[in-house]
Amino acid sequence: MDQPLNIRVSIITVTYNSSVIVKNLLRSIPSAVPVIVVDNASKDADATRELAATHDAEFIANSENLGFGRACNQGAAQADTEFLFFVNPDAELFPDTLDHLLAAADAHPEASAFNTRIVKGDGSLFFKRRSKLIAKSLWLGREAAEQDGEVPVLSGGALLVRKTAFEQVSGFDPKIFLFHEDDDLSLRLKDQCGTLRYVFDAQVRHLLGHSTERSANTAALKAWYMGQSRVYGARKHAIPNAFGVAFGDALLQLMSPLTLLSKRKRAKHWAYLRGVIAARQRNSADLPLPWR
């Protein structure tokens, strides 16, 4: 007898001070689907642990924040299903999300990983059609979001991957603490395992930017690692003038008039610039520099 669709996939989500919003994700997952919650040393870890227990989800508590990719790898190591579905904690599944995703995976055995349609809180679509880690000639037009098809990169916010492919490329790069880890994984999967696809009929509702608390300090923390990851990832994938282009972009953001009007934006863009500068001295074999 064929295995039920929803037992073929494990859902993995990484939390960081996310107990308020992860409850909606857990409520939206069909009861038979294995769920693994990996918490990166949150202040509200106990609350997230209780939510996980209520929904029969496995809970992994880290004593320190290991970063998104390394936490995803922890969750993947505990899963024994054919597919892994990485979902941000501020997302919600639709009743037929998994059915459409797995049907697409069966219809396209040549593909290694898939993205859902991501519906934002206001009803508009988020579609990852470009990346700083690929040439602009590979970027897609906005119309690509309206139909199934191959894509150059995937968003880690709702990413289905064959477990064998994920293991073949050794999962997320542990040297990337946060940001561009999904771009990097996508490119390695595409190069070594098979194409990447977008599944229009499979959808999740996603409150983009709400997976962690919102504050100037949090924005700066995330931007610091974004700057480092931008340079590291571009160098890794042989993008010309990786530092110079990132440095120029960082200066333009910092000098924007909108930045002067917002404490949060000032903290974010200043930290991004500092992260880019720090990455200039970083050896590709080094782990990420700590936030400071």
pLDDT (average), residues 142-159: 96
Helix (H) or strand (E) holding 13: strand 9-15
Q: Is residue 31 part of a domain?
A: yes
Please indicate, yes or no, whether residues 56 and 128 belong to a single structural domain of this protein: yes
Please indicate, yes or no, whether residues 172 and 43 belong to a single structural domain of this protein: yes
3-state class of 59 per DSSP? strand
Domain boundary among 152, 182, 206: 206
* Mean pLDDT computed over every residue of the chain: 91
Q: Return the closest-CA partner of residue 148 out of 100, 85, 82, 188.
A: 100
DSSP label of 172: S
Q: Is residue 285 part of a domain?
A: no
Q: Is residue 289 part of a domain?
A: no
Please indicate, yes or no, whether residues 258 and 199 belong to a single structural domain of this protein: no
Please indicate, yes or no, whether residues 93 and 73 belong to a single structural domain of this protein: yes
Angle between helices 216-236 and 181-192 (to 10 degrees): 30
Domain span including residue 183: 5-206
Please indicate, yes or no, whether residues 256 and 163 belong to a single structural domain of this protein: no
Please indicate, yes or no, whether residues 107 and 163 belong to a single structural domain of this protein: yes
CA pair distance 205, 116, nearest whole angstrom: 10
Q: Is residue 211 part of a domain?
A: no
Please indicate, yes or no, whether residues 138 and 243 belong to a single structural domain of this protein: no
The pLDDT score that the predictor gives to residue 217 is 83
Q: How many CB atoms lie within 10 A of CB 132?
A: 20
CA pair distance 69, 205, nearest whole angstrom: 22
Please indicate, yes or no, whether residues 202 and 222 belong to a single structural domain of this protein: no
CATH number at residue 95: 3.90.550.10
Q: Which residue has the tokens 């979001």?
A: 145
Helix (H) or strand (E) holding 98: helix 97-107
CA pair distance 233, 186, nearest whole angstrom: 12
Domain boundary among 206, 228, 261: 206
Least confident of 3-7, 31-35, 192-196: 3-7
- Indicate the number of domains in the chain: 2
Please indicate, yes or no, whether residues 126 and 170 belong to a single structural domain of this protein: yes
Q: Return the closest-CA partner of residue 68 out of 211, 238, 278, 268.
A: 211
The pLDDT score that the predictor gives to residue 1 is 35
Q: Is residue 10 part of a domain?
A: yes
Q: Is the pLDDT of residue 155 over 50?
A: yes
Domain boundary among 185, 206, 227: 206
- Per-residue model confidence as pLDDT tens digits over 205-260: 998 555 455 577 888 888 999 999 999 999 999 999 999 999 999 999 888 888 87
Q: Is residue 133 part of a domain?
A: yes
- Per-residue model confidence as pLDDT tens digits over 270-284: 999 999 999 887 754
Beta strands in 26-148 (DSSP E): 35-40, 58-62, 83-87, 91-93, 111-120, 125-126
Please indicate, yes or no, whether residues 231 and 134 belong to a single structural domain of this protein: no
Q: Is residue 20 part of a domain?
A: yes
263 versus 76: the higher-pLDDT residue is: 76
DSSP label of 198: E
- Per-residue model confidence as pLDDT tens digits over 113-135: 999 999 988 888 999 999 999 99
Please indicate, yes or no, whether residues 191 and 63 belong to a single structural domain of this protein: yes
- Per-residue model confidence as pLDDT tens digits over 81-108: 999 999 999 999 999 999 999 999 999 9
CA pair distance 87, 258, nearest whole angstrom: 31
The pLDDT score that the predictor gives to residue 185 is 98
Please indicate, yes or no, whether residues 38 and 182 belong to a single structural domain of this protein: yes
285 versus 165: the higher-pLDDT residue is: 165
Q: Is residue 286 part of a domain?
A: no
